[in-house]
Amino acid sequence: MLIFRTLIAAFLLAAVAAAQENVTFPTPDGWTIHADLYGTGERGVVLVPGAKFVKGSWEKQARVLEKAGFRVLAIDLRGFGASKEGPAGARTEGGFAMDVLAAVRYLHEQGARTVAVVGASMGGNATEAALVKSKPGEIDRVVLLAHGAFAPAKELKGRKLFIVSREDPGPGGQPRLVRIRAQYEEAPEPKELVVLEGSAHAQYIFATDQGERLMREILRFLSEA
């Protein structure tokens, strides 16, 4: 009986792991974006990795969100990971924003009632740029994880959660928090700023003692009505 139960448990775990689906969708300027799709919920979430990561790096976080009822799409930005099909010379901030918006629209087309975006580091830069370019209501809310804070603060519409490690060194050695806090203070409501302890950057935080709190904050923010 114990062996039978063990086999059933192993089968169920394998079934959950197999729930991930590899999908592709086009961007308006001719790129093909590759992504991993998890879950079937009506609330969509796009996960956008940093420059040193690919879509598969989000799997653990995607599984948590899937279990919470979200439909999750982890993407490779153009020129990174599996997203290699597209015209030359189009890897720009505006191009990355198009990738994020294409992912948001893909989830809407697949039946998601709302779509949020979580962007880390360079993925956060793409996310804030996409938020500026998005149509009203197209992006329900965003999580900006240790991003560059380059977009005009007053153009960041909708609900926003800014997260960064206190000692995360930005360009020139200045803590990244300085620029992020300045953007946060100028951004319109609704908004939140969460400062974690330590110096880990963006997705690297998940591997530290602040990782559990980071996931809790993201899940809380995305789940709020």
Residue 5 inside a domain? The answer is no
Task: With cut-offs at 50, 70 and 90, classify the pLDDT of residue 19.
Answer: low
Note if the pTM is more than 0.75.
Answer: yes
Residue 191 inside a domain? The answer is yes
Residue 143 inside a domain? The answer is yes
Residue 38 inside a domain? The answer is yes
Tens digits of residue pLDDT in 99-124: 999 999 999 999 999 999 999 999 99
Question: What is the SS3 string spanning 123-187?
Answer: HHHHHHHHHHHCCCCCCCEEEEECCCCCCCHHHCCCEEEEEEECCCECHHHCEHHHHHHHHHHHC
Instruction: Give me the domain span that covers residue 211.
Output: 21-223
Residue 43 inside a domain? The answer is yes
Phi first, then psi, for residue 38 (nearest 5°) are -125, 135
Amino acid identity, position 131: L
Domain count, the chain: 1
CATH code, domain carrying 116: 3.40.50.1820
Tens digits of residue pLDDT in 40-76: 999 999 999 999 999 999 999 999 999 999 999 999 9
Residue 8 inside a domain? The answer is no
